[in-house]
């Protein structure tokens, strides 16, 4: 839950008076054109950056006001997968997924390894535990990053551009994985993406940001926004991006 958020860098305000709710078990997608503040909002929500004003709550706790053990408890309640995957190239997939378990738990080593293997299996990477990231395709790297984000059994996953750089088939397979995790494990997802095919495939609800208005211009079911929106910014975004994606897919 975000309330009255102002965020930016230096004297530049990117987001002004942004408020939104995230409902348990939903897949919420943050949409908007370049520079609208999607990544800025995500960083505020996961506590990476401090707001100029306003609050971010996760399960009732203020992310930015918390300190010490309380802050660590909040941070451990969600997982994050970054756009590039941010895996350590010097480590195997198993070692990458083990890192949060080694840093944040006192579980015995055999149990940590069992959990890490289970997380890799849940994202379809069973049998790849000892592979290096350099031996994987882009889609497999994205899956491994999600497995690591799930290591501590978070209730919420934040994904930054999970389909970026993937071909349409691999992107669709990743969408199926996200849907399966959300429905099968009752997980909540907050996802930043500009890929409309993925949005229509997985989103329960979207929040659309606009650079000029420095905040939310639309929210709701993406199909309803595409078909019924009258705001020129929203109409242009959905139809311009749809044309771009059709041209991209037809040329691949």
List, for residues 77-116, the tens digit of each pLDDT value: 899 998 776 788 788 999 999 999 998 999 999 999 999 9
Say how far apart CA 141 and CA 149 lie, in whole Å. Answer: 12
Q: For all residues of the chain together, what is the average pLDDT?
A: 89
List, for residues 191-245, the tens digit of each pLDDT value: 998 888 899 999 999 999 999 899 999 999 999 999 988 888 888 888 875 555 5
List, for residues 17-30, the tens digit of each pLDDT value: 999 999 999 999 99
* Residue 217: φ, ψ to 5°: -110, -20
Looking at the chain, the whole-number percentage of residues with pLDDT higher than 90 is 57
Contact assessment for residue 152 and residue 105, using Cβ atoms and an 8 Å cutoff: yes
Q: What is the set of domains in the chain, with CATH numbers? A: 1-77+155-186+200-221 (3.40.50.300), 87-154 (no CATH)
pTM for the whole structure: 0.89
List, for residues 144-169, the tens digit of each pLDDT value: 999 999 999 999 999 998 888 888 89
What confidence score (pLDDT) does residue 242 get?
54
| Mean pLDDT along residues 51-61 | 90
| Coil/strand/helix, residue 72 | helix
Contact assessment for residue 79 and residue 154, using Cβ atoms and an 8 Å cutoff: yes
What confidence score (pLDDT) does residue 138 get?
87
């Amino acid at each position: 839950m975000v309330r009255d958020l102002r965020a930016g860098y230096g004297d530049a305000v990117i987001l002004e008076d942004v408020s939104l709710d995230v409902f348990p078990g939903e897949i919420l997608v943050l949409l908007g054109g370049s520079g609208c503040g999607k990544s800025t909002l995500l960083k505020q929500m996961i506590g990476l950056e401090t707001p100029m004003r306003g609050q971010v709550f996760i399960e009732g706790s203020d992310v930015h006001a918390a300190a010490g053990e309380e802050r660590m408890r909040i941070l451990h309640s969600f997982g994050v997968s970054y756009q590039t995957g941010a895996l350590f190239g010097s480590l195997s997939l198993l070692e990458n997924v083990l890192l949060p378990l080694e840093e944040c738990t006192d579980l015995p080593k055999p149990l940590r390894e069992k959990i890490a293997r289970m997380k890799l299996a849940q994202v379809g990477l069973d049998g790849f535990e000892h592979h290096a990231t350099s031996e994987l395709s882009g889609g497999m790297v994205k899956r491994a990053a999600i497995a690591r984000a799930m290591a501590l059994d978070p209730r919420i996953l934040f994904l930054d551009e999970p389909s970026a750089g993937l071909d349409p088939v691999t992107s669709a397979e990743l969408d199926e994985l996200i849907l399966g995790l959300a429905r099968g494990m009752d997980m909540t997802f907050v996802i930043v993406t500009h890929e409309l095919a993925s949005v229509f495939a997985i989103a329960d609800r979207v929040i659309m940001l606009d650079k000029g208005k420095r905040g939310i211009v639309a929210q709701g079911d993406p199909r309803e926004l595409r078909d019924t929106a009258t705001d020129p910014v929203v109409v242009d975004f959905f139809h311009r991006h749809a044309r771009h994606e059709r041209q991209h897919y037809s040329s691949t």
